[in-house]
């Protein structure tokens, strides 16, 4: 990699932070919504506060990424978050994903792969 590729690499690293921040934000918001003493839709739980902070981190990283990556490319890349959130919901929260849903997720992942080529 030469130095001219460095800003683009940094942009993609920022997009990875966007995906991680949004995925974590969704998981923490779900945990906050299910927290005991759920007041105001879970807005008073620490999990909700952490979830909001994760989304805020994602927004900042996205703004930074857009300095180095074209918008249409950034949107394709961050769409991976939908697959990530569903997989994390299954693994971390024990949510059941049916076989047809997994097939749909695989098709989404394949489409994202094709769009990035």
The pLDDT, as a whole number, for residue 117 is 76
Q: Read off the pLDDT of residues 34-93 as tens digits, 9 standing for 90 and up.
A: 877 666 665 678 898 999 999 999 999 999 999 999 999 999 899 889 889 999 999 999
The residues, ordered by sequence, that sit 6+ positions from 55 with a Cβ below 8 Å of its Cβ are 21, 22, 25
Distance CA 68, CA 48 (A): 31
The pLDDT, as a whole number, for residue 23 is 96
The closest alpha carbon to 102, from 114, 115, 90, 112, belongs to 90
Query: What's 40's DSSP letter?
Result: T
Number of domains in the chain: 1
Q: Read off the pLDDT of residues 20-30 as tens digits, 9 standing for 90 and up.
A: 999 999 999 99
Distance CA 47, CA 92 (A): 14
pLDDT of 99 higher than 60? yes
Q: For residue 109, what are the domain limits? A: 3-115
pLDDT of 1 higher than 60? no
């Amino acid at each position: 990699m030469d130095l001219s590729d460095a800003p683009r690499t940094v942009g993609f690293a920022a997009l990875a932070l966007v995906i991680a921040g949004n995925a974590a934000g969704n998981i923490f918001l779900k945990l906050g919504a299910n927290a005991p003493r759920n007041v105001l839709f879970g807005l008073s739980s620490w999990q909700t506060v952490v979830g909001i902070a994760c989304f805020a981190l994602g927004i900042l990283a996205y703004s930074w990424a857009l300095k180095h990556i074209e918008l249409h490319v950034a949107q394709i890349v961050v769409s991976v978050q939908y697959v990530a959130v569903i997989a994390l919901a299954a693994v971390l929260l024990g949510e059941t994903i049916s076989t047809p849903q997994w097939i749909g997720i695989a098709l989404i992942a394949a489409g994202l792969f094709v769009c990035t080529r």
